[in-house]
Amino acid sequence: MRQMIAGNWKMNGTLAGIAAYAAALGQGVAGVDLLICPPYPLIGPLRAACAPGIAVGAQDCAVEQSGAHTGDVAAGLLAEIGASHVILGHSERRADHNERSALVRDKSRTAIAAGLTPIICVGETLAEREAGEAETVVRAQLAGSLPDGFTGLVAYEPVWAIGTGKTATETDVQAMHATIRAALKKQLGEPGETMLILYGGSVKPTNAASLLATSEVGGALVGGASLTATDFMAIAEAARR
């Protein structure tokens, strides 16, 4: 199965840097799906600059299709300007914007209706892991965030390993991805058997190969390392190998 390497730029990136970044990506990496999710204003320019085989996505979308919702961006508009995917339920959205799983589920429905592929994020905090609640928390997030008939991807992001420099061990990752796979099979049936499960949590060129070789890891959701094209491509090359 082809792995996906997705870059989440978060609130970073500039219009001036788009051309050089896209040129560094070139045609991508054979056998690996690449996706870049920049801030909203850069989606169209990045789509225009990147090779056709490199996908561009968004970091969130509104639950409503249109209307008086100042500051929100409709999934349909994101698709219109070239987005193919949308990250939903990222831990920073859940924490900073108080987004609950029910809202993530509703956003997912809206995104799918607009033709976008959702990447639903789940993951536990350090306190939840130390309390022995990690798997319970993740299963609950999956149950609440994925609508019936969900078609998309899931990303496991241990909250304690995002932007902290800490990385879950291969044993930690394998155990949680196995838990997620079992939950997907139970919740979705046959589609859950092959749905990609990305790992996100301080993925870098130095640890990408071992993480991507771990059982049930279908790719990576890359944060800081995706801001530098050479680092992002090194992670993609690790997926190819």
Alpha-carbon distance 82 to 78, whole Å?
A: 7
The answer to whether the CB of 201 falls within 8 A of the CB of 167 is yes
Strand boundaries in 139-227, DSSP class E: 153-156, 197-199, 219-222
- Looking up tokens 């990222």, which residue turns up? 90
Catalytic entry in 92, 124, 157, 216: 157
Catalytic entry in 90, 92, 128, 216: 90
85 is catalytic: no
157 is catalytic: yes
Tallying the residues shown for the chain, one arrives at: 241
The answer to whether the CB of 157 falls within 8 A of the CB of 221 is yes
Which residues pair with residue 153 across a beta bridge?
Answer: 119
Alpha-carbon distance 119 to 117, whole Å?
A: 7
Nearest Cα to 200, choosing from 182, 176, 181?
A: 176
As annotated, the active-site residues are: 90, 157
